[in-house]
Amino acid sequence: MKYIINTFIFVMFSFSLFAEDGSKLWLRYAPSETVYDFSRVTIDENTPTLEKALKELSIASQSFTGKDIEASKATDNSSLIIGTVKSKNIASIIPAKDFRGLGNDGYIIQTINKGGKQSTVIASNTDIGVLYGVFHFLRLIQTNQLPESVNIKETPKYDVRILNHWDNLDGTIERGYAGYSLWKWNELPNTLSPRYEGYARANASVGINATVLNNVNASPQILSKEYLSKVKALAEIFRPYGIKVYLAVNFSSPKELGGLPDSDPLNKEVIKWWNDKAKEIYSIIPDFGGFLVKANSEGLPGPQDYGRTHADGANMLADALKPYNGIIMWRAFVYNPSSEDRAKQAYLEFMPLDGQFRDNVIIQIKNGPIDFQPREPFSPLFGAMQKTPEMVEFQITQEYLGFSNHLAYLAPLFKETLDSDTYSNGKGSTVAKITDGTLRPHQRTAIAAVANIGEDTNWCGHHFAQSNWYAFGRLAWDHQLTSEQIADEWIKMTFSKDKNFVNPVKDIMLASREAVVDYMMPMGLHHIFAFGHHYGPEPWGDVPNARPDWMPWYYHNADSIGLGFNRTSTGSNAVSQYFSPLKEIYNDPSRCPESLLLWFHHIPWNYKMKNGRSMWDELCYKYDSGVQQVRGFRKTWEQMQPYIDEQRFSDVKSKLEIQSKDAVWWKDACLLYFQTFSKRPIASDIELPIHKLDDLKKIKLDMKHHN
């Protein structure tokens, strides 16, 4: 009997090596033959963060080699020496001047030779810097990149590297596709899910140091005493991992929660209410980060309800948080149903306020002027506000890129924005350099992204969606990393280091975002999604009495002549919001990048593209190419079975099947619908539509859980 039990345990154990559910993310620390032994660690300090650093080394060492670490204060015989500038051991090795310029989060990783023995030193000004250094060191090992001798000095490009959770207090997530919220508000603060720490650890491993816990469409309740005690519990778990908590606030909180007659930012009682609230928050969460605010946008309250400006509103909150070093991230995502092109509205609203904001306000601007579309030009507000700190908001959750069903690696999208030249301070004024302080030094720089994390076992719904969380963190740390480098390290840590797996999968990832653009909205088309849930195509969409700026026809403008939104000087003149020479380039169809042609121009169906095809034919080829690419991804993935665990292999496989069907759905819906205007045949050498337009128009998805 004993024998049988043992065998059973053995079988279970070996099986678990092969069945992976994705819950470990990129922190699997897969056993490997070529592992550097770092089991003897020297450390002569003790802080909660350094304990986490040791814990991480222990998890990794056990997983790599089965050997736990031994920590001691003495340096003899040690393979790894870690500590801050305050450590005696570190001070005897690294000269004080080397710490200059490392700031709070930067670190040094260096190989030293002592008495003929080689060890690695990880040092920083602060304990959190040491933790980041430890994660970097472990990443080098996991990706087989640890050289004989290292000499690394790293500092992050942005001060605040923040996730925005659109999590509601009832546990649902707006635009969340990985199940319900991680935050169990009804259990907090008494029951603490182990996933809270897992979340903090994963963020710290990529350098994310801040989080907004709740939806920008904020409930005033989040500021109640009851909820603040729950927030405090989370903040305490996150703190050793260097993560500060922020909250999204509802501008009407003084009225809704505080019972005041209004929430006018110039009303003394309202000001007092916020001051008192700030005091209360900081008394229980001393390192609280600040507020994120969506105001006067999509029906939410704001200062304009009282005839005040966005600056009046933001400054009032900024003053309340200033004594505690808190910041206000004030969103520029504002637009109203009006005769003005939606793409122009944020700029028109905010430009006159440039210079009026307090220095602890940062304007948070979505990467494009509309709304997280598969492709948009960068928002013209970047660089335009000369006297106001600006930050980018990306969307990691795939609201407009196939939810957690489609494989879309978003580093290329993030980088496209960050690398865009705004020309605001002459050539080379990229969005990255405007926002990271290079061209415009500001007190604090920041970068945000809407998270795709939920309670699903694999955190993000699709195994590959984890790469977007990872990529955002890595780019927030260093936007000069290439999409390829990031994909490479992520694949090696998450799946396998075998080049027969890494290379083809990397090719899939790098092509994936453009494939989505091709089968959904090529050539600058945008916002032709199904109403409300934004999953499938609905270019014909026309909901009675709905706002025109929520309707696909508002954006695509298909007619008998052509397709696209005329934003040139003869149209809405949105091009005028860009600096020269961009405004002239975008204004001229022959110079405008073809990837943005229909964003800026209404183009005739027979317009000749650079490759000689008519615009209509090119549209057909683009849609078809999107479909063919996804088919290719599927084929490649089929070959990947031998390299990874069965569970993740088949999970991804079935998602790719959905994506492949969806791509055909998109192509057929868009081409058949636009054909009713172009009256031209589908290009003869592409795959012909398999659906009928009338049938496609009948599809109504039940997306209750997806808002």
Active site residues: 298, 371, 399
Residue 311 interacting with ligand BDP (CB under 6 A): no
Residue 371 interacting with ligand BDP (CB under 6 A): yes
Distance of alpha carbon 434 from alpha carbon 440, whole angstroms: 6
CB-CB contact of 256 with 220 (8 Å): yes
Three-state SS for 697?
helix
Please state the three-class secondary structure of 594-608 as a single string. Answer: HHHHHHHCCEECCCE
Residue 513 interacting with ligand BDP (CB under 6 A): no
Residue where the block lists tokens 């008519």: 614
- State which of residues 139, 175, 239, 567 lies at the interface with ligand BDP (CB under 6 A): 175
Residue 526 interacting with ligand BDP (CB under 6 A): no
In the complex, the smallest distance separating the C-beta of residue 545 from ligand BDP, rounded to whole angstroms, is 19
- State which of residues 64, 177, 372, 459 lies at the interface with ligand BDP (CB under 6 A): 372
Contacts of 19 (CB under 8 A, 6+ apart): 645, 646, 647
Residue 330 interacting with ligand BDP (CB under 6 A): no
In the complex, the smallest distance separating the C-beta of residue 320 from ligand BDP, rounded to whole angstroms, is 23
Residue number with CB closer to ligand BDP (201 or 513): 513
In the complex, the smallest distance separating the C-beta of residue 537 from ligand BDP, rounded to whole angstroms, is 17
Residue number with CB closer to ligand BDP (174 or 340): 174
Residue 549 interacting with ligand BDP (CB under 6 A): no
Residue number with CB closer to ligand BDP (164 or 577): 164
**311, containing H or E segment:** helix 310-321
Distance of alpha carbon 379 from alpha carbon 303, whole angstroms: 23
In the complex, the smallest distance separating the C-beta of residue 546 from ligand BDP, rounded to whole angstroms, is 14
Question: Which sign, positive or negative, has the C-alpha torsion 449, 419, 442, 239?
Answer: positive
Residue number with CB closer to ligand BDP (20 or 349): 349
Residue number with CB closer to ligand BDP (52 or 175): 175
CB-CB contact of 531 with 543 (8 Å): yes
Residue number with CB closer to ligand BDP (364 or 424): 364
Residue 463 interacting with ligand BDP (CB under 6 A): no
Closest CA to 601 of 577, 572, 622: 572
Site for ligand BDP in 336-365 (CB under 6 A): none
In the complex, the smallest distance separating the C-beta of residue 414 from ligand BDP, rounded to whole angstroms, is 16
In the complex, the smallest distance separating the C-beta of residue 202 from ligand BDP, rounded to whole angstroms, is 24
Residue number with CB closer to ligand BDP (274 or 333): 333
Closest CA to 133 of 102, 112, 157, 161: 102
Phi/psi at 633 (5° precision):
-60, -40
In the complex, the smallest distance separating the C-beta of residue 706 from ligand BDP, rounded to whole angstroms, is 10
Residue 217 interacting with ligand BDP (CB under 6 A): yes
Joined together, the tokens standing for residue 214 give 């709740």
Residue number with CB closer to ligand BDP (535 or 637): 535
Residue 462 interacting with ligand BDP (CB under 6 A): no
80, burial (CB in 10 Å: exposed 0-12, middle 13-18, buried 19+): buried
Taking each helix axis from N to C end, the angle separating 127-142 and 194-205, rounded to the nearest 10 degrees, works out to 80
Name the CA radius of gyration of the chain, rounded. 26
The 8 Å CB, 24+ separation contacts for 99-104 are 99/123, 99/124, 99/125, 101/155, 102/129, 102/153, 102/155, 103/155, 103/156, 104/128, 104/129
Residue 314 interacting with ligand BDP (CB under 6 A): no
Distance of alpha carbon 5 from alpha carbon 129, whole angstroms: 46
Q: Total binding residues for ligand BDP by CB under 6 A?
A: 9
One-character DSSP codes across 431-446: HHHHHSSSSS--S--E
Residue number with CB closer to ligand BDP (174 or 256): 174
Residue number with CB closer to ligand BDP (371 or 668): 371
One-character DSSP codes across 628-684: HHHHHHHHHHHTTGGGS-HHHHHHHHHHHHHHHHHHHHHHHHHHHHHHHHH--PPPT
CB-CB contact of 451 with 199 (8 Å): no
Residue 329 interacting with ligand BDP (CB under 6 A): no
In the complex, the smallest distance separating the C-beta of residue 564 from ligand BDP, rounded to whole angstroms, is 22
- The β-bridge partners of 210 are 162, 244
Site for ligand BDP in 395-454 (CB under 6 A): 399
Residue 154 interacting with ligand BDP (CB under 6 A): no
In the complex, the smallest distance separating the C-beta of residue 149 from ligand BDP, rounded to whole angstroms, is 47
State the number of CA atoms in the 13 A half-sphere of 596 facing the CB. Answer: 20
Residue 167 interacting with ligand BDP (CB under 6 A): no
Residue 706 interacting with ligand BDP (CB under 6 A): no
Distance of alpha carbon 468 from alpha carbon 472, whole angstroms: 6
Residue number with CB closer to ligand BDP (216 or 321): 216
In the complex, the smallest distance separating the C-beta of residue 450 from ligand BDP, rounded to whole angstroms, is 7
Residue 216 interacting with ligand BDP (CB under 6 A): yes
Residue number with CB closer to ligand BDP (367 or 458): 367
Contacts of 235 (CB under 8 A, 6+ apart): 244, 245, 285, 287, 288
Residue 333 interacting with ligand BDP (CB under 6 A): yes
Distance of alpha carbon 22 from alpha carbon 202, whole angstroms: 13
In the complex, the smallest distance separating the C-beta of residue 215 from ligand BDP, rounded to whole angstroms, is 7
Instruction: Give the rounded distance of the alpha carbon of 284 from its chain centre.
Output: 29
In the complex, the smallest distance separating the C-beta of residue 174 from ligand BDP, rounded to whole angstroms, is 5
Question: Which sign, positive or negative, has the C-alpha torsion 418, 423, 425, 428?
Answer: positive
Site for ligand BDP in 272-301 (CB under 6 A): 294
Which single residue brings its beta carbon nearest to ligand BDP? 371
CB-CB contact of 198 with 469 (8 Å): no
* Positions in the binding site for ligand BDP (CB under 6 A): 174-175, 216-217, 294, 333, 371-372, 399
